[in-house]
Structure 1
């Protein structure tokens, strides 16, 4: 068996502590699978005296992360501290120093992935990041390797467990957003400051990574249209239920055609209604799932726990085994694939469908006037129904597919109409075949 490979771990929080634990508990199996022992070279932390879920062997904790990753004997660096800095500088220093890197840092990859990919290519070292998108769910490797001979056309996913838990509770119990969020926080599914989750920032970063891999095009978080779930009401969820649908926060990455007829990438994160018959509708609690559509393989679904210390550490260790094998063989895995260089469509050009609830005057001609407003903006109506009478009269309209700009203009038009008291709900609809 070859000489031991030295691993430096950056961060010892919920994920880092589990990586350290698994490196110790599975040392024999890892050595057999890799072909060489793996030894922990050190663990970089902010505070040496902070409480931790695992006991780190004596002398391995350090607050000097830069010195650790640039040690000449370190072969592999695992980065699980998150954020942009100092993670970026430490990863770049590790690659420049000759170490291969495994990271779970979705925010950094979505903001500045190309800088990291170029540094890895220049250093002829691996940069792996399976744990960055969906915890234990293997989705990046299938996109990068298993489907490399296929043409992926769409990736549709629930990639944030906190928002899925909240929306699932709203659907199951009829609770409002604030009540469901409070329960998620009490159970530890949501942070004290849940902004990154409920406003869609976390899902947008993951969508950027998925789109980049699926469509061989550089996509950053700034390219992703993002809407959170803070405006989703119990009434929205009830309306979805009446349509035999559920509301989910979806990351949607797809190939579309632009105004010149050329292929383009559309990437968006927003709440949407999907029929209960769709596989993603059955994803409950804090679980994640990613639905992939490709020309040859057809429809594939990947499901499992999308966060948590142990599940995420499982993905990290999977990458570590691959990177270590490559290191021993003197090879490296696939790097960035951005050859297609497709443009990213603005959200206004993306074709979608709307569910619109409109409080209206209960009198003759209202339905015709509303239909005319849709037609004036080139939007066709798929279904319309009236609920209530008199002061409680409401029209619920589901459109056929149109550009988001056309649909948004229609909603603004409705709000100016004398017969319309209020547009109470606007939500996109996904997953139906028209």
Structure 2
């Protein structure tokens, strides 16, 4: 334990967008942060892969080093902001085993190797903090781990990726198609040159795995999350959703419920979802994030804010640094991982949702009755049916078609899969255009 007159030595691994802001704030706000921690905070070094890279003027170049292991060995707290699985996994293990507490914003690392790192922290009597790993400056990790420790959480859902929210919002408000909105996001710095992790849903998947582990006190990983990205969302989908009173958002969800056999389990998914316009998540625009938590006693709570960017993420990192430093000064630990046992992860077929289904069908008398019967035979109840634009196919456009949009009541995924297979094999159906989940208020 450090005395209050001794400094808490901090090593920073990585000096990218977030790392630069962390280093700047640790210098500019040193007195304020030190007062909150109860001891002087001293940034003793910044590990980088290239000492010659041009850097922000706020970076003291005398702190830069390529000798990461030597830096870790001298630190009380190690901040890992490199990203990816390796070398961060090796370096975080090294820090924990050397007796340093670790602050990380690395959701991919935690979603893949979290249990291993939690165990190492406990074995070595140090702390692992990761508020910045989910939703940037939004304090949802703290909320689940500490504020709701006295409650039972039933569901966590939300918009957890600012890039995809910006793209879908641009498609909605500026009538762009996906490629145009993605290019704009890249030009504005919201999307990487390779946007796959974001637009294919894996970034949000890693985040919901972390939150589900906290919410339901069981160990889950990214491999347990059913992930679907937004590449398939079209301008027509956006327009159809708008006509029906919805907007499309990429929703990450973790919910505990009973399966068809009455057994308790966890459902986790990331998918483009129609959100009703009176739902709190419908009004989340641009690159903002928002997370809804539904708890037994507290009811519905919403966490909203900047989900990415150097300064917002640095805010979350520094909150963890202050907490970790204070624990070293006064003693005690951050909340440990709490496990109640292994709650099974439900298969995709057992997930529950309402669905939006858009079809192009032959425009003949009785086609709607035929569709209704197919849905009824599969045990799927229709909440609404709308007919959209008409068209033609065949030689010389001889065959008239029409688009039908169906929104179902809540149903299991297995039943929807059955209906979709029937529709795809039907002579009345030209094409199944879209199948998206629906979230009502």
TM range (shorter): over 0.9
Give the Cα–Cα distance (whole angstroms) in 2 for the partners of residues 214 and 178 of structure 1: 36
**Is 2:30 the partner of 1:21?**
no
- Which runs of structure 2 are paired with 1:285-364 in the superposition (5 Å)? 285-364=286-365
Q: TM-score, normalised by structure 2?
A: 0.95
Give the distance between the partners of 2:82 and 2:61, measured in 1 at CA: 21
Contact 1:14–1:53, Cα closer than 8 Å, also in 2: no
Report what 1:39 is aligned to: 42
1:392 CA displacement? 4.1
- With 156-165 and 253-262 compared, the bigger mean Cα shift is at 253-262
The answer to whether the 8 A contact 1:17-1:54 is kept is: no
> 1:2, 1:243 → 2: CA distance?
63
Q: Which residue of 1 aligns with 2:106?
A: 105
Alpha-carbon distance in structure 1 between the residues aligned to 2:440 and 2:302:
14
Correspondent of 2:428 among 410, 419, 423: 419
Deviations 1:344-367 (A, max 9, x none): 111111111211111111111111
Shift of 1:291: 0.9
Mapped pair 1:8 → 2:11:
yes
In structure 2, distance between residues paired with 1:300 and 1:46: 41
Moved more, 205-214 or 328-337: 328-337
Q: CA deviation at 1:99?
A: 0.5
State the distance in 1 between where 2:193 and 2:371 align: 43
Q: Could you tell me how far 1:30 is from its partner in structure 2?
A: 1.1
1:167-225 deviations in whole A, cap 9, x for unaligned? Answer: 00111122111111111111111111110100001000001001111111111000000
CA distance in 2, matches of 1:259, 1:380: 17
The structural deviation recorded for 1:396 is: 1.0
SS in 1 for 2:357: strand
SS at match of 2:79: strand
Q: Who is 2:268 aligned against?
A: 267
TM-score, scaled to structure 1: 0.97
Q: Which secondary structure does the structure 2 equivalent of 1:134 belong to?
A: coil
* Correspondence 1:127-206 to 2 at 5 A: 127-206=128-207
Give the Cα separation in 2 of the matches to 1:383 and 1:304.
Answer: 34
Deviation at 1:262, TM superposition (A): 2.6
User: Is 1:244 paired with 2:253?
Assistant: no
Partner of 2:173: helix, strand, or coil? helix
Q: CA deviation at 1:55?
A: 3.7
Question: 1:202-221, aligned counterparts within 5 Å?
Answer: 202-221=203-222
SS at match of 1:95: helix
Q: Using the alignment, how far apart are the partners of 2:62 and 2:188 within structure 1? A: 35
What SS does the aligned partner of 1:135 have?
coil
Deviation at 1:388, TM superposition (A): 3.8
Map of 1:228 onto structure 2? 229
1:113 alignment partner, SS class? helix
Residue 408 (structure 2) pairs with residue 399 (structure 1): yes
Indicate the residue corresponding to 2:396 in structure 1: none
Q: Name stretches of at least 5 consecutive residues in structure 2 with no aligned partner.
A: 392-399
2-structure distance, mates of 1:218, 1:361: 48
- Where does residue 124 of structure 1 map in the other structure? 125
> Could you tell me how far apart the structure 2 residues matched to 1:365 and 1:259 are?
33
Q: Count how many residue pairs are aligned between Structure 1 and Structure 2.
A: 430
Deviations 1:139-169 (A, max 9, x none): 0001000001011111111010000000001
The aligned counterpart of 2:368 is: 367
Q: What displacement does 1:66 show?
A: 1.8
Residue 27 (structure 1) shift:
0.7
Query: What is residue 53 of structure 2 aligned with on the other side?
Result: 50
**Which residue is 1:93 aligned to?**
94
Work out the CA distance in 2 between the residues paired with 1:394 and 1:55.
58
Could you list the per-position Cα deviations for residues 30-88 of structure 1 after superposition, in whole angstroms to 9, with x for gaps in the alignment?
111111100011100000011122443353211121221123xx100000001101101
Deviation at 1:389, TM superposition (A): 4.7
Superposition RMSD in Å: 1.2
Please, which runs of 5 or more residues in structure 1 have no aligned partner?
none
